Structures are given as structure tokens and as C-alpha cells.
Structure 1
Amino acid sequence: MTTHTYASTLQWSGRTDDYDGYSRRHDLTLSGTAVAVSADPAFRGDGALPNPEQLLVAAASSCQLLSFLAVAALAGVQVLEYRDEAEGVMPDDQRPLRLTTIVLRPRIVVQGTTVERVERLLHKAHQQCYIANSLTTDVALEPVIEVR
């Protein structure tokens, strides 16, 4: 049995003696690449920086893409383009506060196949996506498929 592990490093420094005034900015390092991250502006963060909620939505989107490309390649389907405008929803009135839904909206251009076949492959990839499988959040697909 193989066990995969994934590491990240997070670093923050500052003072929290004033709840409204302390910096929410921190540095996240993944595979040697540092990314400055903050809280969402609604939580007193810096809107110019990515936040953990965006990172979670991006992880779900990326996982779906990679799963789909693998499934499509194994099925002999030629994928020419894939663009996803994913969105996560976190209502203020539900507790515990959490992303309740992530909607993935891939626009996919393929060649030499049918829309129905691509939809089946998308569903198969969605079932195999380890990020979506790891979440209690509903991850939905709303694809637009173009066959050339």
C-alpha cells in the first residue's frame, strides 16, 4: 500500500493585541514556491491577495481538470481547450461557517467525439477527483462542451 503525503509551510508574524488591526497576511509555501495569502476582505483581510476559500475552490477546479484530462486521454478523446470559472459559496447565516457549494463551470473544446461521451467522461472524472471526495461541500459541475 502506498501512502501519499502533501506538505505545505505557513508563516506569519505580527501582533494580535488589536483584533481589527492585526495583519491577516501570511506566506504559504508549496513545493518551494511562496505565495502571499490573506483572509477574505469580509474577515478583515487584504483583497489583493488570495485567501483560503479561493485556494479550496482552486484545488477542486484543478483536481477536476487533471482527473478529466487523464480520463479523456485514456479514452482516446482529444481535448483541445479547458477553462473553468469555478465559484464557491459560503452563506453567512449557516453554522458552522463553511463553503456549502463549489460550482465548477468548465468550458471544454474537444475534437472527434460527442457531447454525450464527454459528459460521461466528466462524470467519471468527477467521481475520481480526490479533492471533491475529501470535502463535505457539494461540488457541482455545470459544463459547456464544444465539439469541433
Structure 2
Amino acid sequence: MKEHQYEVQVTWTGNKGNGTSSYTAYTRDFNVEAPSKATLAGSADPAFRGDPQRWNPEDMLVASLSACHKLWYLHLCAVNGVNVLAYVDRPIGRMVEGDTHGKGRFTHVLLRPQVTISTGSDREVALRLHKDAHLECFVANSVNFPVECAAVMTVA
């Protein structure tokens, strides 16, 4: 078994001078940092007093699922003779608050990649490889809710 470790630093930057002395006394802003990488500006979802111009944890989870699927998909296409020319995904994640335990949780993520492959690439193989990519995706294998893929394929 091979093990990988990922270490980041998440720093709260929202102390406006009085810390968390009240619910409205602070912002939810934070930075995510790692050596040699661009800093991500984060906050809470705007529904929870966050800054809508910053990434929230829910955005990052949906983006992570999409990016992991894409990276596996591109790899599988490359080793199976499918030439991908373009790939854009607009995934949608659904989260509910107040489940049976009174908690919030994700219930579903739908990946919606629009993929362009070159003439001569096998369209059916290209579509099938999305299923294989889903099975390989480290992030999708780590969540406890369904992640589905509704790919649209175009041949250039």
C-alpha cells in the first residue's frame, strides 16, 4: 500500500479587533496556503455570513471532485488512444441542512463535463472512460454521497 500526505495551512484572517466576542464581530475569511502554491482566499458560504467573492469549503469540495475526475479521465483517455482537445465541467453540488440528525451534509454532486475529442477518436470509448475515471477518483472514493457524471461529448 502506498501512502501520500497532504499538508496545508488554513489561517483565519477575520478578527476585526474583538475576536469572536459575538456572532457578528468577526468575518469568516481565511487563507489556504501551501509551499510553492498560490494562496486561496476562503470564507464561509454567503448564507453563513461569508464573503461571496471568496472560495468556501463547499465550493472547494465540488471543485475537488470535478478536478479529480478530470485528471483521471484525461489520463485514461491518453492511455486508451482518445485525443481530448477540450474539457470544461460545470458541476453542481447539493447540500441540505437539518438532516435526520439536525446536521448539514452533501447529498449529491453532479459532474457535467463537456468534452471535445478529435476526429478519429472513438466516441463510445471516450464516454465509457468517464465510468472508469469515476471508479479511480480518489476524492469520489472518499465521500459518502453519490457523485454522478452526465458528460456531453463533441467530436471536433
TM-score (norm 1): 0.94
- What residue number does 1:67 align with? 72
In the TM superposition, residue 63 of structure 1 has moved relative to its aligned partner by 0.3
Distance 2:95 2:3 in 1: 32
Distance 2:81 2:124 in 1: 15
Percent of residue pairs identical: 37
- What residue number does 2:21 align with? 17
SS of the equivalent of 1:70 reads: helix
Farther-moved stretch of structure 1 (62-71 vs 12-21)? 12-21
In the TM superposition, residue 102 of structure 1 has moved relative to its aligned partner by 0.9
Residues 108-134 of structure 1 show CA distances to partners (whole Å, capped at 9, x for unaligned) of 001223332111111101110001001
For 1:99, the aligned partner's letter is F
Extract unaligned runs of 5+ from structure 2. none
- What residue number does 2:106 align with? 99
On the 8 A contact 1:83/1:106 being kept in 2, the answer is yes
- What residue number does 2:132 align with? 124
On the 8 A contact 1:114/1:147 being kept in 2, the answer is no
TM-score (norm 2): 0.89
Residues 51-74 of structure 1 show CA distances to partners (whole Å, capped at 9, x for unaligned) of 000000110010011000000001
In the TM superposition, residue 30 of structure 1 has moved relative to its aligned partner by 3.1
- What residue number does 1:142 align with? 150
Distance 1:92 1:12 in 2: 24
Query: How big is the alpha-carbon RMSD for the aligned residues of Structure 1 and Structure 2?
Result: 1.3
- What residue number does 2:81 align with? 76
**Structure 2 residue 33 is matched with structure 1 residue 29:** yes
Distance 2:105 2:82 in 1: 36
On the 8 A contact 2:76/2:129 being kept in 1, the answer is yes
Farther-moved stretch of structure 1 (21-30 vs 125-134)? 21-30
Extract unaligned runs of 5+ from structure 1. none
In the TM superposition, residue 89 of structure 1 has moved relative to its aligned partner by 0.7
The verdict on how the C-alpha distance between 1:31 and 1:134 changes in structure 2, with shifts beyond 3 A counting, is farther
- Count of residues in Structure 1 that have an aligned counterpart in Structure 2: 148
